[in-house]
Every structure is written in structure tokens, then in C-alpha cells.
Amino acid sequence: MLRYADIRHGLPRLARGDGVRGILTWFSSDDLPDADAYLAWLAKAFALGKRVTVFGSLGVADDRDGRPLPPARINALLAHLGVRAEDRTITLTYPYRVARADPHLYNYERRLGGPLPSFKQTRVYGADARSYLRVERANDPGDYADLVVIGPAGAYVAPGYGYYSPARVAAGKWYLNPFAFFRLAFATAGLPKPDTTTLSGRRIYYSHIYGDGWRNGSEIKRYRKRHALASEVILEEAIRPFPDLPVSVAPIAADLDPAWSGSAETRRIARALFALPQVEAASHTYSHPFTWKFFEHYTPAKERPLLADYPELRKRLDRGLPVWGIPASKFARRGDKQRVIHGYSADLPRAYARKPFSLDREIQGSIDYLNTLTPPGKRVRLLQWSGDTSPFEAALAAAEAAGVRNMNGGDSRFDKDFPSHAWVAPLGRRVGRYWQVYSSNSNENTYTEEWSKRYFGFKFLPATLEATESPVRLKPINIYYHIYSGAKVASLKALLGNLAYARRQEIAPIAASRYAAIVNGFFRARIVPLGPRRWRIEDRDGLQTLRFDDASAETVDLARSTGVIGWRGYQGSLYVALDAAVRAPVVALRQGAPDAAAGRPYLIDARWRVYGLQTRADGMRFETRGFGRGRMNWRVTPGSDYRLQIEEPHGGRRRITARADRHGVLSVDLGADGITPLTVDLRAGAPAE
């Protein structure tokens, strides 16, 4: 978890036991203003046992009086990283070639070739450091430089040798394998990682929709004839036929509220959507801010000069009607052309301005209004940020006070147009005391150049989904789009293709708010070491998976663990499923393949969530719920028979039987309705005759 520090506002405080494992510096020049203070701070970091990675320029070259720093001062610090810098910079690099590049760490997304970037001659210093990239002068192996070095207290990467940055920003690529490099640099191999991609051993699936375009008419022929709205098309084509794929639908309240721009038809569609069991109710705010910064220190006077530019207010003024209680005659007519998209101007700070901005109305007010359209027992659970998706701290605080999760921002892409892991966004960003949760993937807007062309572009989403699944699972499957995808044939076809793709995958479908809870768990979780290969997980919110990388030779030690549902080895990592009913589970590992006998049945994978596990000598009992068919696989004694009793919420009971295969895999299908929780009692033994 990164904690960014703007050193223009002072160097961060460091102390033993402050939770800081290491420091990453990534400067593009050596012109920090106070070299003495900075070098002293780095020296303190090393003294406190913090691992330091210098990626690119060191950051300083001259002292506060403008004199070059003595090489001895620089080398005193670099020595911690196992590096020594010679007083020599190679700018004419054509005689030099790559002498050695570690194949597991280097030439990851792009091979280093052609004229080499200029470099300062640095060399491995000390027996505990290792060079992962060495260049040398042709025919003179004694003239060399070590440009990627990992030492006992961190790492050094010479400027220009970690990441390739061409003039076209989106074309950048990693020379280094960032996963392998940072694992070594910060010594995290073997540590448990809270995982936000996997649930019950399967890749998470979730979907969420922005309400933009709710009132748009559809251009699709069979809907255009009856003047259907894009929101109805999405209801009938992309949601109702997919009861197995949950989706969070977030209208803009102003599109529904008749006091703003709503109608009986827009509200009817919202009610129909919210009534579907696979639909989670969410809010996309009331007036749809585009530029959140504009409203951080808002006054009505700040927005008043813009009111005549709002298309909805322009109509009122043209009819001589007042706006905000101000007579129409007080507004000057402006001839500026506005970019009007979906009925509102994208050049204004928000979509609708029927009333002065109110943060309480945007968050709590939109939630309260949308809750009037939900069926009994269903309430808004998620706030999806609008516009530039960059809310200020008070907005995040308002979402938390309203009791909802928050999401949006990020826009991850990893495809031929964005061909690098560098375009895969983090889990979120810190805003004051709060965390904003980013969406896992980008929406159709980035594939259609802001909905201006290539309306089929969203069909390329699977390229990102596959690139973030292998060789490293980085993200869940997330289908994130706008209501206006129901306006055009090409966009709807692309969306339906993505939903069909998701159906073909092995997934664990969940509501978007649950994914937000999982990410919040990542940010909050505390991992407490309890001894050799044993940890307790505390304060994890909705997070239910722990991952161990490079763990193909390890398995869970159930005798020393509590609150573990099961585990699964995948792509060299071990994914451990935790029991949501156990507040502080303990996970211990031991040597052995992930499929090694455990002494009791354990979950391999499931489409549904499994929790509240109670084991007995002859079987177990657990709670489960989810979307689609309740298929799951358990590890049991090979060839053994089991009887399952499924208890439904309203007292109904069903019984099924199952037999494990010769590998000890017990495959079970609990049926197609797990949206309400089921209780399963599983007992060993053949069914009675």
C-alpha cells in the first residue's frame, strides 16, 4: 500500500515501528533543493531498517551552496544498496552493449536494444549485492556498469533502465518485471498478500452502470419505432436476460426526479430495474458533477455566471422563466457553443443546475430519493462518483456518513492501445482520511473516444481482462458501462458480447458494493505474525482471500489454522479462502503441494460465497449464497459418497447426493437460486436404499 509524499511540503517522518516497510524514490532529475537534509533523511531511513529503492535519478547532485556533492557522500548511501558510483558519466554509449540481463527480471515488456541511454558508471559493491543488468564496452569487459542492482537494504535502477518512456505516453513499457523486481527490492517473498481479485477460489466478477443517457432515445430500430429510452433497452437486453450476472445500477437522481428533469417513464424504468433480484441499487449523485474540485469550496455566486449555459436552464430563460429565483432579464445571452452530450454540456462543472449545489443533496439526497423507487427490503448500497471521478475529502466523508460504499476512477486498460502493466490502475487513492475505491476496468467511454466514434470499441474489453488474468491475476472481471450503450446497435452488441464472455469464464459473481468492501478490507487489514509461517488477519472488512506467491510447494496447515474455508493453487500462487463468519482467522502454511490431504474436507472453488463453516467427523455444515448455478468443488477422500441437505430460507428442504472422483474432488451443484442464503448440511456416506 503506497503512501505518497510530496517532498515540496517536507520530508515524511520516519520511526521504528511506524508500519513503513520501505521507500521508493522515482525522480526525473537531481535538483532537489536541500541535498543535505535529503541525504540525512535517507541515512536515517537506512538506520531504521527501512528498505530503499532508488528508481532513476538519486534526486540530488549539488549541496545547498550549489557545489557538487563529493562522491564519498553519495557512495556512503549507495553502499547500503550494494552500489558504488564512479565519478564518470557515459553519454556516448554506442560502444557499449548489454553483457548480462537476468532473464527472470529484465526484458519484461520491452527488450533493451539500440543506442543505450546515457548512464553514470555504477558497480556492484559488496558480496551481498547482485547485478541484474550489466553493460560493458565492446572488447573491453573491464569497462562496465551495473545498472540494476539489488542489495541488502534495497535496490538501485539507473535512469532510463527500468521503464521505457517514449514521446507517445501510452506506448511506454517496462524493461523490468515490476512484480519480480519489487518483491526482491522490498523482500516480500513469502509474505501473505490480501487479495482483491479472488473469492472462494475463483476470479471475482462484478458489473456497474453509470446512469448517463437514461433519458436518451434509442436508435436501435425495434426500439426507435416505439420511442423507447436507452435505459429500457439496457433493462430488456443487458440485464433482464442475465439473472446470473449481478449488476449495480446507478441513476442520476435528476434524470428521475420530476422537479428536475425526470418523468414518469424514467421512474418506471428505474423501478423495474431495481425490482430485479440481480440488480443492486446505487446512486450516480443528484446533479452529476463533472469537475468535483469546482464544488469543494462552493458558493452559488461562483456558478451563477455559468447558469445561462446549462441547456436545461437555457430553455427556461428563453421562455422568460426565472432561474434560482433570479429573473430571466438578469441573465446575458451567450453565443458560445457548448459541447452538448446526452442533453447536457460537457464544458460545465455539472450536468444539471436546477438548484444551487448542495453536497448533502448530491450524496444523502440522491440516496434518499432513489430509495423511494426501490422495492421493500432493498436500499442503495453504493455511490458511484461522476464526471472526473475525483471527489474531495468532504464528499467521501458524506458517502461514509450515508452508510454506502464508494467507487469509480482508475480506468485500467491493458491492450494493444495501452500495451503495459503501467496502465493498470491501483485499487484506489487516499483522500485525506478516506479511501476512494477505483473501478477494476475502464468503461466504454475510453474505447469510443468519449462516445464520439467507434461505438463498437467496448468489444475489445476482453483483451484487458485476459492480460490482467495471466501470467499474474491482477484484477477481477469488471464490466463497467453507461446507460447510453443502449442507444446504438454497435455499442449494445459490444456490451452483449462482453456479458457472453463473462458467462464463459469461471467466476464468482458479486455486487459491486461487495467488491468495494473487499478493497476497503485491503486498505484496513492488519497481518500479525504469530510464528513460523503463521499469521492472524485482523480488521479485514469484506476481504476474504489471502494470497501467497511462489507457493507451489506449500499448503495450508489446518492443525495450526482457524477460519480457513479452503485453498487453491493457481499460476504458482496459493489462494486461501477465509471464513467471513470468523472475525480474526489464522492462516498457517507447511510444506506440501496445495492439493495435499488436509484431514477434513476443504473448498477448492465455488461460484457462490461460502461462510459459517462447521466441521464434524462425518462432514460439515455451511452457509452459501450467490448468482447463477451454485457449482462448487470440495477436496475429500477419493471415491467417497456424500449426502447433502439444502435448507432454503422459508423452510423448504432439498436433498442431493454426490460422489468424489478418483482425485478426491467432490463436485456439487446446489441449483440456480442462491441470491437468498442457503444452509447446506453435507454428510459422508452412501444414500439410504
Residues 331 and 368 in one domain: no
Residues 185 and 251 in one domain: no
Residues 589 and 675 in one domain: yes
Summarised one tens digit per residue, pLDDT across range 361-388 is 999 999 999 999 999 999 999 999 999 9
Per-residue confidence (pLDDT) for residue 596, from 0 to 100: 65
* Model confidence at 555: pLDDT above 50: yes
Residue 430, phi then psi, degrees to nearest 5: -90, 130
Q: How far is CA 523 from the centre of its chain?
A: 12
Residue 294, in any domain of the structure = no
Number of domains in the chain: 4
Residues 208 and 284 in one domain: yes
Residue 449, in any domain of the structure = yes
- Which residues partner with 133 through β-bridges? 101, 148
* Model confidence at 524: pLDDT above 80: yes
619, containing H or E segment: strand 619-626
Summarised one tens digit per residue, pLDDT across range 126-180 is 889 999 999 999 999 999 999 999 999 999 999 999 999 887 777 789 999 999 9
- Which of 286, 282, 288 lies closest to 270, judged by CA? 282
- Give the residue-averaged pLDDT of 310-337: 86
Summarised one tens digit per residue, pLDDT across range 331-368 is 876 655 556 655 556 689 999 999 999 999 999 999 99
* Cα distances (angstroms) measured from residue 586 to each of 32, 611, 615, 620: 45, 15, 17, 20
Q: How far is CA 412 from the centre of its chain?
A: 8
Summarised one tens digit per residue, pLDDT across range 273-316 is 999 999 999 999 999 999 999 999 999 999 999 999 998 899 99
Per-residue confidence (pLDDT) for residue 68, from 0 to 100: 86
Summarised one tens digit per residue, pLDDT across range 414-437 is 999 999 999 999 999 999 999 999
Q: Is the pTM of this model over 0.75?
A: yes
Residue 1, in any domain of the structure = no
For the chain, the helix, strand and coil percentages under 3-state DSSP, each to the nearest 5 = 25, 30, 45
From the number of C-beta atoms within 10 Å of its C-beta (0-12, 13-18, 19+), residue 152 rates as: middle
Residues 276 and 390 in one domain: yes
Residues 365 and 351 in one domain: no
Per-residue confidence (pLDDT) for residue 689, from 0 to 100: 47
* Cα distances (angstroms) measured from residue 585 to each of 483, 566, 611: 41, 12, 12
48, containing H or E segment: none
Q: How far apart are the C-alpha atoms of 461 and 480, rounded to whole Å?
A: 10
Q: How far apart are the C-alpha atoms of 370 and 24, rounded to whole Å?
A: 44
Residues 230 and 123 in one domain: no
**C-beta of residue 120 within 8 angstroms of C-beta of residue 158:** yes
- What's the grid cell of residue 38? 535529503
How many C-alpha atoms does 263 have within 13 Å on its Cβ side? Answer: 7
**C-beta of residue 598 within 8 angstroms of C-beta of residue 556:** yes
Q: Per-residue b/e over 601-626, b at no fewer than 16 CB within 10 Å?
A: bbbbbbbbbbbebeeeeebbbbbbbb
Residue 2, in any domain of the structure = no
* Cα distances (angstroms) measured from residue 510 to each of 172, 255, 468, 491, 521: 34, 27, 19, 24, 16
Q: β-strand 173-174 against 163-164: which pairing, if any?
A: antiparallel
Asked which of 189, 210, 236 is the last residue of a domain, the reply is 189
Q: Per-residue b/e over 418-437, b at no fewer than 16 CB within 10 Å?
A: bbbbbbbbebbbebeebbbb
* Cα distances (angstroms) measured from residue 556 to each of 326, 548, 553, 588, 610: 69, 11, 11, 6, 18
Residues 494 and 398 in one domain: yes
Residues 266 and 393 in one domain: yes
Crossing angle of the two packed helices 35-47 and 71-78, in degrees rounded to 10: 30
- Looking at the chain, the number of H-run helices and the number of E-run strands are 14, 38
Per-residue confidence (pLDDT) for residue 599, from 0 to 100: 77
Listed in sequence order, the residues at least 6 apart from 368 whose beta carbon sits closer than 8 Å to its beta carbon are: none
CATH number of residue 216's parent domain? 3.20.110.20
- Give the residue-averaged pLDDT of 436-453: 96
DSSP secondary structure letters along 513-543: HHHHHHHHHHHH-EEEEEETTEEEEES-TT-
Residues 15 and 91 in one domain: yes
Residue 183, phi then psi, degrees to nearest 5: -65, -40
Q: How far is CA 597 from the centre of its chain?
A: 34
Asked which of 356, 378, 401 is the last residue of a domain, the reply is 356
Q: How far apart are the C-alpha atoms of 534 and 557, rounded to whole Å?
A: 9
Q: How far apart are the C-alpha atoms of 101 and 176, rounded to whole Å?
A: 10
Per-residue confidence (pLDDT) for residue 597, from 0 to 100: 62
- What's the grid cell of residue 1? 500500500
Summarised one tens digit per residue, pLDDT across range 20-51 is 999 999 998 888 888 989 999 999 999 999 99
Residues 444 and 581 in one domain: no
- Which of 252, 212, 542, 209 lies closest to 408, judged by CA? 209
The DSSP 8-state label assigned to residue 12 in this structure reads: P
Residues 569 and 504 in one domain: no
- What's the grid cell of residue 69? 556533492
| % of the chain exceeding 90 in pLDDT | 86
- Give the residue-averaged pLDDT of 44-67: 91
Rg (CA), the chain: 29
Which range, of 181-190, 223-232, 315-324, 344-353, averages the lowest pLDDT? 344-353
268, containing H or E segment: helix 264-275
Q: How far apart are the C-alpha atoms of 429 and 409, rounded to whole Å?
A: 9
* Model confidence at 108: pLDDT above 70: yes
Residue 496, in any domain of the structure = yes
Asked which of 189, 214, 231 is the last residue of a domain, the reply is 189
Q: How far apart are the C-alpha atoms of 208 and 479, rounded to whole Å?
A: 7
Q: How far apart are the C-alpha atoms of 177 and 323, rounded to whole Å?
A: 57
Residue 689, in any domain of the structure = no
Tell me the residue range of the domain where 407 lies.
Answer: 198-289+357-515
Sheet harboring 573-578: ordered strands across?
193-194, 545-548, 573-578, 564-570, 602-606, 631-635, 665-669
Q: How far apart are the C-alpha atoms of 668 and 438, rounded to whole Å?
A: 34
Summarised one tens digit per residue, pLDDT across range 575-616 is 999 999 999 999 999 998 777 667 789 999 999 999 999 998
Chain mean pLDDT for the chain: 94
24, containing H or E segment: strand 22-25
DSSP secondary structure letters along 204-235: EEEEEEE-TTTTPBP-SHHHHTTT-BHHHHII
Name the one residue in this structure whose C-alpha cell is 533523511.
41
For residue 305, give the 3-state DSSP assignment.
helix
